[in-house]
Chain A
Amino acid sequence: MFGSSGSRVLNVINISYLQSRSKRVWVRKPLGSPMAKSKIFRITPKPVIPEDEKAEMKRLFDNYKNSMKSLRQYFFEQSLKQAESGEVAQMKHRLEDQEHERLMEENLLENEKTAMLREERLKIQAEKTQKNVLASLIKKEREAKQHEIQIEDFLTKQMSTPFIKPENIEKAIEDALANPVNFNFALDLDGYVYRGKETSIDMIPEEKRERLNSN
């Protein structure tokens, strides 16, 4: 039913283990085999331990485990310390420190390099912004000047038109009364003016007047 589980292995003192060729020794039931008929409905009685005894045992075990664990950790730390205090370890530490210092100096040099590059870049940027600001200022000045010129032109134009001031008012009134404006005129598409209310176009042959807007 179950195949022979190999040859026997004796408990020996010497390092090599001997093989035995006689009876097969039953070590354990093979793992895939089913439970025996006499054992399938067996219910093993669970050991009943009273609560206070359980508590006492737990307390003892906890104390023991705590002490063992702490001892173990303490010894581990001690062994680490010992390893560190040995000669080889000290040399290692020294080498490491030297290496570290060398790397720190390298780092400082690199920092300085980047700082220099950064300063140059910032300088270039500052010049650029200065130029930009100057250019914009100049532009603004120019525009302001142009604006001023425009305003002056407009003002001169306005001043040149014949305004009626309080000194001229009497003269203006007399002029207006003396020269009444007649609005009875018509305009041609070609720009000719036909004055008067009763004039007809056919009556004026060649005396056409091109009147530009006189203002």
Chain B
Amino acid sequence: MPFMKGPAPIRRTMEYLDRNKLVLKERVKIFSINYNTKGENHEGARQFVFWHLPQLQFKNPNIQITTFKNLTPSPFIRCYLENGEEVLMDVDFKSKDEIYERVRRIICKSEETLKAEDKLDNPANFGSKCQKHCICEVPGQLPCPSLVPLPKSWRGKYKFQKPDEL
């Protein structure tokens, strides 16, 4: 199989995109980063954009992420929240990992929230992305009404049917 094209194409693999914890909080609507293409103090910001921006967008498909290049002498990240508030993060001379940690700490959902929202882990969730599709699959629960019909007194169409009004 041939090599994937482009510099560091691992950034385009599903595994890489999936495996990060940059899920922004719901109140963040726009994420913008200002940096220069030359300059030592912008190196961390450049690396962050190169490696982690695809991951960020993958995990937050409904958030606008923009980059502004060669506008200001020092790099910074600015997030616009729902209530008009702006979060300004100065990343002058910081390394890519430091920026990653800071973003994660300040405007991303914490590990506990992610775990609580995670459908796969919690066996109490049922649905397409969960461990079981329906509660009828659990032994000890009601069997699926498609196989064994429910008693008429439990079915809404009989319970609420008012024969005298018909």
- Which residues of A approach B to under 8 Å, CB–CB? 9, 11-13, 15, 17, 100, 103-104, 106-107, 110-111, 114-115, 117-118, 121
Contact = CB atoms under 8 A, between A and B. Distances in A.
Do most interface residues of chain A lie in helix, strand or loop, or is the interface mixed? helix
Given A15-B142, A103-B105, A9 B147 contact: yes
Contacts of A104: 87, 106
Interface stretch (B4-12, B29-37, B88-96): B88-96
Given A103-B105, A106-B106, A111 B148 contact: no
Contacts of A9: 147-148
B102 interface: yes
Nearest to A106: B106
A107 B93 contact: no
Interface of B: 25, 27, 41, 74, 87-94, 102, 105-107, 142-143, 147-149, 151
B148 A110 contact: no
Nearest to A11: B149
A21 to B, nearest CB: 19
B73 to A, nearest CB: 10
A121 B93 contact: yes
Given A9-B148, A11-B148, A12-B148, A114 B106 contact: no
Do most interface residues of chain B lie in helix, strand or loop, or is the interface mixed? loop
Nearest to A108: B88
B93 A118 contact: yes
A114 B151 contact: no
B148 A115 contact: no
Nearest to B147: A9
Contact of A110 (B74, B102, B107): B102
B88 A111 contact: yes
B90 A115 contact: yes
28 contacts: A13-B151, A17-B143, A100-B25, A100-B27, A103-B105, A103-B106, A104-B106, A106-B105, A106-B106, A107-B87, A107-B88, A107-B102, A107-B106, A110-B89, A110-B90, A111-B90, A114-B91, A114-B92, A114-B93, A114-B94, A115-B92, A117-B92, A117-B93, A118-B41, A118-B92, A118-B93, A121-B41, A121-B93
Contacts of A13: 151
A114 B90 CA distance: 7
Contacts of B93: 114, 117-118, 121
